[in-house]
Each structure stands twice: as C-alpha cells, then as structure tokens.
A and B are shown apart, each in its own frame.
Chain A
Amino acid sequence: MSDHVSRPFHSLPDPWRWHIGVALFVTLWWMLYRQLSPIAEWIVAAIPVDRHSHTGEALAFFFYDVPKVMMLLTLIVFAMGVVRSYFSAEKTRSLLSGRREGIGNVFAAGLGVLTPFCSCSAVPLFIGFVSAGVPLGVTFSFLIAAPMVNEVALVLLFGLVGWQVALTYLAFGLGIAIAAGFVIGQLHLEGWLQDWVRDIHSGASAPDMPECEGRRMVDRYRLGIEAVREIFGKVWKWILLGIAMGALIHGYVPENLMASIMGAEAWWSVPAAVVLGIPMYTNAAGVIPIVEALLGKGAALGTVLAFMMSVIALSLPEMIILKQVLTYRLIAVFICVVGSGILAVGFLFNLIF
C-alpha cells in the first residue's frame, strides 16, 4: 500500500505512512466505485451478445454486482476489523457480568456485533460468560446477535437490495437478539444447562488479556487487513456462485414467477421459509445474491428475509455444537423463541414493504 509515493514518504514515521496509505486507498476506492456501472457496460459491450437478450441481462448483472459487492466488502470488513481491535471477548464479558436483564440484553446484542467472534469458539465463550456471572438470557442475546447481525450480511443487503432494507435488517436483527435473550432470561432455565456447565459456574476464571488495550494504530490497521483476507478466503466462492445464480434468475426466470409461491399473499410462505432455513447452513454471502434475485421476481421481502435470518441464526450444525452445553429442552426453547422472532419480522416486513 505504501509503494505509490516516492522518497519523502519513506522518511515519515511508520504510523503516518499507514494513515496516508489508508487515506489513499479509500480515495482510489471511491473513484473506482463510482465508475463501476460504465465499466460493467463496457465489458458487456465487448462481449458479442445482444445487451437486451437474456444472456446480456444476466452478464450485465454479473459484471456490475460482483465488483460492487467485492469492493464494498473490502472497505467495510477492513473498517470493522479496525473497530473490533478495540474489543475482545474478555472485555465484553466484564462489561456484561452482573448486569441486569433488560438493559443487559441491549448491551449484549450491541457488543455481539462489535466483539470479534468466531462460531467455532461459541462453546468456550458461552461457558466463559455464564461462569463469570453473565445472566443466561444476556449471554443468549450476545450469541444470537453475533452471527446474525454481521457486516457481510449488511454489506450485501446494502449493495444488492438497498440501504433501507439493510438498516431495517440491522434494527430487527438486534431486536430479535434482545427480545429472544430477554424471554429466555425470564424463563429462568439455568437448570437446563448440562450438569458440568453448572459445576464450573463459579470455578475457572480467565486471566485478564489486556492485549486489545496496548495495540498501536498500525496493529489495528494490520488486523483490518487480516480480517479482509480471512473473510475473502471464506466467502469469495459463495459470492461468485450466489451472484451467478442471481444473474441466471435475473436473466431467465419470468417476472412474477415467485409472486405466487413467495409473495405476500401466501401467508404460509413465512413459516415455510423459516423451517426450510434451519437445516441449511451457509454464511450470509451465499444467500443474499439469491435473495436479491428472488425479490426482483416478486418474492415478498419479509419471506425472503425470514429465510435468510433462519439460515444464518438457526442452523443445525450450531445446535450440535451447543448440545455440549445445553440440554435438548433448552435448545428447543431457543429454536422456538428465536424462530418466533424471525416469524414476526417476516410478517411485519411483508406488511410494511
């Protein structure tokens, strides 16, 4: 990133080279982003197909959406990587432990978005929270918000569907996490944890890990770049595949085909979408391009979003992981509470939009 500018640049102290590099990158990004539509048209024009044919429509969709989504992802994931470097699971836990239900659920959902989280450490995190006195419902608010409201989902919704939908998704995603955690807290189901989890309730305590305090800005930029590399390594093929499928649907599936099966009039389509989403497990990147194409063909927004939330937040593999700490009864309650939340959002969206 620092190769653009010549000699005087190298005499600058390291942090400033990074600041300038990042600023330069953002400027270039913005200039390129504004030119995406003409570039896509230019590419399609260079391919010997009729622009207004099915193939032409599909190609234009593909060559515009792929670079757009990739560019948005790069910028936002980098920014989130830098923001997340100020947070850690340990810090979040100490912010949440002993907090009252209600306000605690709100905090937990918000922190779920900001704290670095990988679903592979869901179990140790769960135990770490509960054993340090974070109320069960508050812990659930965190664990629901963390995967559901993530920047990849938001970027894709923003880029492919529109900012209104992205914002609404953010609000309702947080809403479900807060409400579902609160309900689970009110049910007082601590007895439904696996026995051994209760046993270490007051036992193990983690040493403080002050790493996120002492980071320099340069380290934070590096973490941002690391996040971009990691996310792209995970999602690029899903995005390509998803947008390719989206492009096919966009070009070939007749208008309003989806309206009868996934339209707002078919009330049963929302619960069906939720149930269908549970066994499916993919990240937001794989679902959203299909979501956009379905919407374009008359599927109702609420139905499509319910499907998406169900795929991301209620997944079978995650249940299997959580089985190590929760009893089946508690998992069933979890599915019912979160599922009802998603249903409510689905119906509400169909009503509003």
Chain B
Amino acid sequence: MTTVKVYGPGCKRCETTAQMVRDAAASLGLEVEVEKVTDPKSIAMAGVMSTPGISIDGKLVHAGGLPDKNKLEDWLSA
C-alpha cells in the first residue's frame, strides 16, 4: 500500500492534484492512500515551498503547480 501525501493549504489546485493522484492510481490499478496536509507548519517542515507538493512513501517528488499526468504515473509505479 502506497501512501501519498498532497501538501497544500486547500486551494483549488491542491484539490485537483489530490484527485489527479487518485485517478492516476486507479488507472494503474494501484492501491493508494491519499493524505492531504493542509497545516502550513507541516507543509514547511516537509520542505515544500511552493504548493501543491506531492510525496510518495515519504519521498518528496513534486512541488509547485499541477503535476504532469505522465510523470505522476511514473512516480507512482516506481
């Protein structure tokens, strides 16, 4: 089971990113748990400076703007 964290204070782009992660996981047939981190302190502690950020199993893979769909699938299947 993969744990994906989406970092962002809850603006529209963060919602979209979380949904993109779920969709990508579904299309790959992966089971993931998506957790949204909205507390600015925790976001900063994770080393994310521009939101939305994504970490997969504790490893930060993306920060700032919507992720690229293909890259997202690469990260999830890696």
A124 contacts B44, C-beta separation under 8 Å: yes
Contact A209-B64, Cβ < 8 Å, known A89-B49, A120-B9: yes
B50 contacts A204, C-beta separation under 8 Å: no
Name the contact of B47 in the complex, choosing from A88, A129, A207 (C-beta under 8 A).
A207
B46 contacts A204, C-beta separation under 8 Å: yes
**Which residues of B lie under 8 Å from residue A123 when comparing CB positions?**
9, 40, 43-44
**Which residues of B lie under 8 Å from residue A129 when comparing CB positions?**
49
A125 contacts B66, C-beta separation under 8 Å: no
Question: Closest A-chain residue to B66, C-beta based?
Answer: A226
B50 contacts A205, C-beta separation under 8 Å: no
**Which residues of B lie under 8 Å from residue A207 when comparing CB positions?**
47, 60
A118 contacts B51, C-beta separation under 8 Å: yes
**Which residues of A lie under 8 Å from residue B7 when comparing CB positions?**
124
**Which residues of B lie under 8 Å from residue A203 when comparing CB positions?**
45
**Which residues of A lie under 8 Å from residue B60 when comparing CB positions?**
206-207, 209
Query: In whole angstroms, how far apart are the Cα atoms of A321 and B65 in the complex?
Result: 20
B45 contacts A204, C-beta separation under 8 Å: yes
B44 contacts A89, C-beta separation under 8 Å: no
Q: How many A-B residue pairs have CB under 8 A?
A: 81
**Which residues of B lie under 8 Å from residue A219 when comparing CB positions?**
68
**Which residues of B lie under 8 Å from residue A325 when comparing CB positions?**
40
- B 49-78 to A, binary, CB cutoff 8 A, 1 in contact else 0: 111000000001011111010000000000
**Which residues of A lie under 8 Å from residue B46 when comparing CB positions?**
204
B65 contacts A116, C-beta separation under 8 Å: yes
What is the CB-to-nearest-CB distance from A203 to chain B, in angstroms, rounded to a whole number?
Answer: 8
- Does B48 interact with chain A (Cβ within 8 Å)? yes
- Does A121 interact with chain B (Cβ within 8 Å)? yes
Query: In whole angstroms, how far apart are the Cα atoms of A258 and B64 in the complex?
Result: 44
* 8 Å CB interface, B1-58 against A: 7-9, 11, 13, 40-41, 43-51
- Does A93 interact with chain B (Cβ within 8 Å)? yes
- A 45-74 to B, binary, CB cutoff 8 A, 1 in contact else 0: 000000000000000000000000000000
**Which residues of A lie under 8 Å from residue B13 when comparing CB positions?**
118
Name the contact of B41 in the complex, choosing from A116, A128, A196, A211 (C-beta under 8 A).
A196
What is the CB-to-nearest-CB distance from A108 to chain B, in angstroms, rounded to a whole number?
Answer: 14
Q: Quick one: which of B43, B49, B62, B63 has the most chain A CB within 10 A? A: B49
**Which residues of B lie under 8 Å from residue A223 when comparing CB positions?**
65
**Which residues of A lie under 8 Å from residue B63 when comparing CB positions?**
89-90, 206, 209
Query: In whole angstroms, how far apart are the Cα atoms of A124 and B10 in the complex?
Result: 13
Name the contact of A88 in the complex, choosing from B8, B44, B45, B50 (C-beta under 8 A).
B50
A121 contacts B51, C-beta separation under 8 Å: yes
- Does A328 interact with chain B (Cβ within 8 Å)? no
Query: In whole angstroms, how far apart are the Cα atoms of A116 and B64 in the complex?
Result: 8
What is the CB-to-nearest-CB distance from B1 to chain A, in angstroms, rounded to a whole number?
Answer: 23
Question: Closest B-chain residue to A88, C-beta based?
Answer: B64
Question: Closest B-chain residue to A219, C-beta based?
Answer: B68
What is the CB-to-nearest-CB distance from B69 to chain A, in angstroms, rounded to a whole number?
Answer: 11
Query: In whole angstroms, how far apart are the Cα atoms of A200 and B66 in the complex?
Result: 27
Query: In whole angstroms, how far apart are the Cα atoms of A118 and B10 in the complex?
Result: 12
Question: Closest A-chain residue to B51, C-beta based?
Answer: A121
A206 contacts B48, C-beta separation under 8 Å: yes
**Which residues of B lie under 8 Å from residue A168 when comparing CB positions?**
none
Query: In whole angstroms, how far apart are the Cα atoms of A123 and B49 in the complex?
Result: 8
Query: In whole angstroms, how far apart are the Cα atoms of A90 and B66 in the complex?
Result: 16
Name the contact of A89 in the complex, choosing from B8, B45, B50, B68 (C-beta under 8 A).
B50
Apart from A120-B51, A124-B50, A128-B48, what are 13 other A-B pairs with CB-CB below 8 Å?
A118-B13, A118-B51, A121-B49, A121-B64, A124-B7, A125-B50, A127-B44, A204-B45, A205-B47, A206-B47, A209-B64, A223-B65, A321-B40
Q: Please, could you name 25 A-B residue pairs with CB atoms under 8 Å apart, sorted by A?
A: A88-B50, A89-B50, A90-B49, A118-B11, A120-B51, A121-B8, A121-B9, A121-B43, A124-B40, A124-B43, A124-B48, A125-B49, A127-B41, A200-B45, A204-B46, A204-B47, A206-B47, A206-B48, A206-B60, A207-B47, A209-B64, A223-B65, A226-B66, A324-B41, A325-B40
